[in-house]
Amino acid sequence: MADSQAQTTFNERPKLVVGIVVDQMRWDYLGRYYDKYQEDGLKRLMNQGYSCNNCLINYLPTVTAIGHTSAYTGTTPAFHGICGNAFYINGVKRSSCEDPNVQTVGTNKKEASSPVNLLASTIGDQLRLHTDFKSKVIGVSYKDRAAILPAGRSASAAYWIDTKNGQFITSTWYMQELPKWAKDFNAQLKKNKELQKVGKDVGLYPLCGHITADMAIAALKGEQLGKGEETDMLCVSFSQTDVIGHEWGTRGERTDEAYLELDKDIAKLLKAFDEQVGEGNYLVFLTADHGAAHNFKFMEDHKLNGGAFKWDEVFSVDAAKRLAAKFHLTKNVIKDCLDYRIVLDKEAIREQGVDEQALRDAIVEELLNTPHIAFAFDFKKAATAPVPEMLNDRSGDIIFMLEPGWYGFGKWSSPIGTTHGEWNPYDAHIPLLFYGWKVKHGETSREVHITDIAPTVCQKMHIQQPNACVGEAITEVIE
């Protein structure tokens, strides 16, 4: 009898697994807004679920594409291959999900996206493998990378917003035509007067979260997720919190509103799961892809360390002159700087007969002598640098880290807004909540990592971990 019961337990799985990522959500937002959250939203997850209060990101840089990928693959950029929101492949700069070999579906937009650059499997891929691809796995988000990368390469579908026409779209990686329920949902969006008013700037408003939640519920019902013989998975990412944070920072009415409205979206999703699948029949985890620094002016006003680092003004001009003089350069040898990662122009280096390693060493020395840069190292020497070797060639050639409170000021941050990307707790300390199927209420302050999410969920379902997983299952959640 005991063996029979053990076998039954071993084969049990929830009807539905739901992954929720809140883009740019700092861990302390759970407490900051706790008294204002409603009872059936985030408070429900906190008060009835299990909270890992010391979940950290264990790689650099802390940006959207990497965070979503690492949470669902259980591994770092060195293995899953998504080394930034953009990176170079064979000398060509690509966004993380850019794919010239597919076409968009649901719009006439030329740029198309897929998980082609993802090298590792995800939770959803493993679930599909385990069930001989009978499980449905769907990703939904405002951003293409936030819908595509969590769902994985074998996903049933991924949907994201084309801001030009205010519609959810996909690509031919998944299908040739949107399903009827998605077309019907898009038809309703065309009638949304609030969406018509904000247009392509929808990401700057809580409305973006509302329609993301509604699209996720439309997929839940349209695909009858959680009602089949096998476990299904829904990957939802809320991006408006990131867009608003970049524009208005971590403090103020706009950010406050964003998280209180997000709370309503979470409550709406949980209610839909209760109705569609049944309370106790689904497993939810909620986390973030990264946090965010406080606005540098806010820090300065309160006599705290902080500032804006402008690459073109602070480093590249003067340093470029010194490097040119030292190595007799006639062409620029630095191709790009992406998320604190310097990409060298290898062809220009070869053409000018420059000793590449000597050049790398000189650039690192220049960085270390640059105000407000705390660390810099050559990826080739990463094993002996202060940060472990985690990243591969897609990451660039040299990485640098700024002093606490400092961040790169540019495309993704306004004068009153902020950004992210560093190792510091404000960027790397993220929420991690588990709720629902066989999850006991509790919390731990033991250090866990974003890469521990995937093995925990897979272990709980008794399926194999993703194929490049380096994380460890969080035993407190499994027991």
Partner residues linked to 17 by β-bridges = 233, 283
Q: Which two tokens stand for residue 283?
A: 């497993």
Whole-number Å distance between alpha carbons of 474 and 195: 41
Q: Specify whether 64 is catalytic.
A: yes
Instruction: Give the other-Cβ count within 10 Å of 389's Cβ.
Output: 14
At residue 121's C-alpha, the angle toward residues 119 and 123, to 5°, is 150
Q: Which two tokens stand for residue 371?
A: 């105000």
Query: Which letter does DSSP use for residue 393 in this model?
Result: G
Query: Angle of helix 64-73 relative to helix 144-151, nearest 10 degrees?
Result: 20
In this structure, the strands spanning 232-238 and 137-141 are parallel
Catalytic residue among 9, 62, 64, 330: 64
Q: Identify whether the C-beta of residue 142 lies closer than 8 Å to the C-beta of residue 64.
A: no
Q: Identify whether the C-beta of residue 412 lies closer than 8 Å to the C-beta of residue 246.
A: yes
Residues 6 or more apart whose Cβ sits within 8 Å of residue 5: none
Q: Which two tokens stand for residue 50?
A: 């299990």
Residues involved in catalysis = 64
